[in-house]
Amino acid sequence: MKPEETGSRYDRLALYWQKQHSNSTYGLAALERAIKFTENKFTENKSTALDVGCGSSGRFIEVLIEHGFVPAGVDISAEMISLASERHPEVTFYAADICTWQLPQKYDLISAWDSTFHLPLAEQKPVLKKMCEGLNSKGVLLFTCGGTSGPEEISGGFEGETFDYSTLGVNEFLRLMDEFGCTCKHVEYDQFPENHVYMIAQKTE
């Protein structure tokens, strides 16, 4: 499925997502763990963060603000971004496809929680490279992926919509992190026996 089609399907779920997930703590422990690896300054030179596939709830954005970050969000769904902007008018949001979008700056933290797992398989490597290269020195990347040992593509239903998912597999993501100048700090099958994995990596100096 092309990213634009994924975006159209999420457009139809944007309001539902905001209502359903605004108070959800899903993934927040992982975000807190990732934040601990950053050199978050909490001074006037605030750390910067980007939430890739941020959705409409603003839940990652809120935690980042609480920790003193200046966050930004990007999402391919214009409806998700419209609702997220209403909730956090002070935050910069971009309606864009992470596959083609050029990051406007480097960040101290980049999160991609349950978003890049929707990319076509061929986009996984270039988008991981883009996110790793988009980190400042010692910057931290948090992302989720399918926890297979090799590449896989699957489809699944959610709230009446069908979505595609792809993964390079855990071994290849770990290898690529190293290739793209990052060190793996944490890998967790956080919903075992589900094949859902989150990874934290830090830009090597």
Q: Does 62 bind ligand SAM (CB under 6 A)?
A: no
Q: Does 124 bind ligand SAM (CB under 6 A)?
A: no
Residue number, 98 or 182, with CB nearest to ligand SAM: 98
For residue 193, is the peptide bond before it cis, meaning its omega torsion is within 30 degrees of 0? Answer: yes
Residue number, 98 or 135, with CB nearest to ligand SAM: 98
Pick from 30, 83, 91, 98: which binds ligand SAM (CB under 6 A)? 98
CA distance 184 to 202: 6
Q: Does 93 bind ligand SAM (CB under 6 A)?
A: no
Contact 140, 202 (CB under 8 A): yes
Pick from 49, 54, 135, 142: which binds ligand SAM (CB under 6 A)? 54
Q: Does 114 bind ligand SAM (CB under 6 A)?
A: yes
Q: How many residues bind ligand SAM (CB under 6 A)?
A: 24
Pick from 1, 65, 99, 121: which binds ligand SAM (CB under 6 A)? 99
Residue number, 93 or 180, with CB nearest to ligand SAM: 93
Q: Does 119 bind ligand SAM (CB under 6 A)?
A: yes
Pick from 40, 77, 166, 167: which binds ligand SAM (CB under 6 A)? 77
Q: How many CB atoms lie within 10 A of CB 202?
A: 23
Q: How far is CA 90 from CA 27, 29, 36, in A?
A: 23, 25, 25
In whole angstroms, the minimum distance from the beta carbon of 21 to ligand SAM comes to 5
Q: Does 113 bind ligand SAM (CB under 6 A)?
A: yes
- Phi then psi for residue 56, to 5 deg, are -105, -10
CA distance 11 to 13: 5
Alpha helices in the chain (DSSP H): 3-21, 28-37, 59-66, 78-87, 121-133, 170-179
Q: Does 200 bind ligand SAM (CB under 6 A)?
A: no
Core vs surface per residue 91-119: b (16+ CB within 10 A) or e? bebbbbbbbeeebeeebbbbbbbbbbbbb
Chain residues that interact with ligand SAM, rule: CB under 6 A: 3, 6-7, 10, 21, 27, 53-55, 57, 59, 74-77, 80, 97-99, 113-115, 118-119
